[in-house]
Structure 1
Amino acid sequence: MFGTSDFEVYESNGYEYLHISSDEQDSQNLVFLHGMFGGLSNYDPLLKEIQGYNIFVPKIPIYEISARKISINRLTEWLHSFCEEIKVENPIFLGNSMGGHLALDYARQYPDNVSALVLTGSSGLLEMDFGSTFPRRKDRNFIRKQANLTFYEDLIDDAAMEEIMAVVKSPSKLTSLLAITRDTHAYNMEKYLPQITQDVLLVWGKQDEITPPEVADMFLEKLPNAELHWIDKCGHAPMMEHPEKFAAFLEDFLIKLRNKSKSKKTKTL
């Protein structure tokens, strides 16, 4: 959602994605994963702040998979197929909201194929329950108010509202959306977190109302190798609300990973 991306959209064998390539040798591979109501444009503000990385942003097929089959596990299978199709090896996954949940499940199922994780407003432990139906789905003001819970400031413009209303008014799309919403609530990852030993960067909005601050603290406690950074006056999508601050945390983390990798190679030699 939230408009079209300013970057070129690529297609390959049914997969739709952004690809920002780097000319630098040994550049890190990053895969950015959007949330339930997200889309390719969600990472545009962050992409404009960083460079020197090989970045992929896939469009996650939330509305293309039938409501009976869609789940985090099913999306993990899809993501694995995407990485194989695009030939992305050992990426660092950055996931927002449901995208974070997907990154965690990928790390659980394919631990040898994940270099590190970056989670921001991730589901997988606790998140606000919007219910299993949209009884007021034709009430534009009500839907706008609900959508704005994502942000500290009001970032929902008329174009974004048109996209959101198109989803909630479509029986098939709404059914798929509610199905994946139910699955994210049902699929609690707490017991799996100690098994995810990759380095994890947590970047959280202090005013996140959907996955509130205590959720970030829980991730920090349960993940063996995690670090947590806060952004003030920020809601559920820090990479959209404060891309400069988010980029600073991200690049510091990526430098640490690069130095750590070089140190391991030196010791091996």
Structure 2
Amino acid sequence: MEFTIKEENGFKYIEEGEGEVLLLLHGLMGALSNWEEVILEFKDRYRVVIPMLPIYDLPLLTTGVKSLAKFVHKFVKFKKFQNVIVLGNSLGGHVGLVFVTSHPEFVRSLVLTGSSGLYENSFGGSFPKRENYDFIKEKVEFTFYDPATATKELVDEVFETVNDRYKVIRILAMAKSAIRHNMSKDLHKIKLPVSLIWGRNDRITPPEVAEEFNNLLPNSDLYWIDKCGHAPMMEQPAEFNQILNKVLEKIENQ
């Protein structure tokens, strides 16, 4: 399904539905389409909003997690959002954590899935064989429990991105920023409710990362999805949405 991308005041974003804001933050290589099943499930009850994070648009010297968190802050202020529920995958989760730490007044609750911020086993800091399609295919398949989830369309998209010199420099800069910006000493400051929805077979942010988040965050719950890798909303969308439904009901009743 194709969703309309709105452009306003320098921001590009998808916005579907009405009600309380569910703000979705995509990962480093994550397309907006990664959230398709979440949008379809929740747009009848929530105002589902996905800003396009300017990973390729920042000056190289300021390409980093903090800059993306500042961008989210500007976007939330521009849209005049209040009591936002932030849901972030991978780098998007990390951006959500930095944003919540700096501006908790805008956020009602935080949901993390496969979030970076403590440790991640990403592409390894470089793309030594980025012109090799099979190598990139293998790396994309590594993201999932079931390699078949890495469709040709998805692999083609990543292959094209990593072979764009302008983009790949920024991807590597952003990945290094994420590794440097470890959140372990800041997590105790996040008092609002945090829900962790994690693939039990995640090899990029493994299960022990979820357990560490759960230990360090003062007010968190951890939910597991079996036979699932780093992007549960793509690989096990029905189960992910079922858990997210429970999480959102709990938030509404708090």
TM-score by length of structure 1 reads 0.91
SS in 1 for 2:145: coil
Deviations along 1:28-83, whole A, 9 cap, x unmatched?
21100010001211100222222301110111111111222111111111111111
Residue 28 of structure 1 is matched in structure 2 by 20
Aligned pair 1:16/2:41, yes or no? no
Structure-to-structure mapping, 1:98-247, within 5 angstroms:
98-153=91-146, 154-247=148-241
The 8 Å contact of residues 46 and 244 in structure 1, kept in 2 or not, is answered as no
Gaps of 5+ in 1: 261-269
Aligned pair 1:97/2:93, yes or no? no
The one-letter code matched in structure 1 to 2:47 is N
The 8 Å contact of residues 46 and 240 in structure 1, kept in 2 or not, is answered as no
Q: Measure, in 1, the Cα distance between the counterparts of 2:38 and 2:155.
A: 22
Q: Measure, in 2, the Cα distance between the counterparts of 1:134 and 1:198.
A: 38
Q: Measure, in 1, the Cα distance between the counterparts of 2:115 and 2:103.
A: 19
Q: Measure, in 1, the Cα distance between the counterparts of 2:202 and 2:33.
A: 20
Residue 267 of structure 1 is matched in structure 2 by none
* The one of 12, 25, 50 aligned to 1:57: 50
Q: How many residues get paired?
A: 252
Deviations along 1:222-269, whole A, 9 cap, x unmatched?
001100010000000001111111111111111111111xxxxxxxxx
SS in 2 for 1:102: helix
Once the two structures are aligned, what percentage of the paired residues are identical? 40
Q: CA deviation at 1:100?
A: 0.3
Aligned pair 1:45/2:37, yes or no? yes
> Over aligned residue pairs, what C-alpha RMSD do you find?
1.2
Q: Measure, in 2, the Cα distance between the counterparts of 1:253 and 1:156.
A: 28
Q: Measure, in 2, the Cα distance between the counterparts of 1:246 and 1:122.
A: 15
Q: Measure, in 2, the Cα distance between the counterparts of 1:106 and 1:181.
A: 18
SS in 1 for 2:182: coil
TM-score by length of structure 2 reads 0.96
Q: Measure, in 1, the Cα distance between the counterparts of 2:14 and 2:193.
A: 25
Between Structure 1 and Structure 2, whose CA radius of gyration is higher? 1
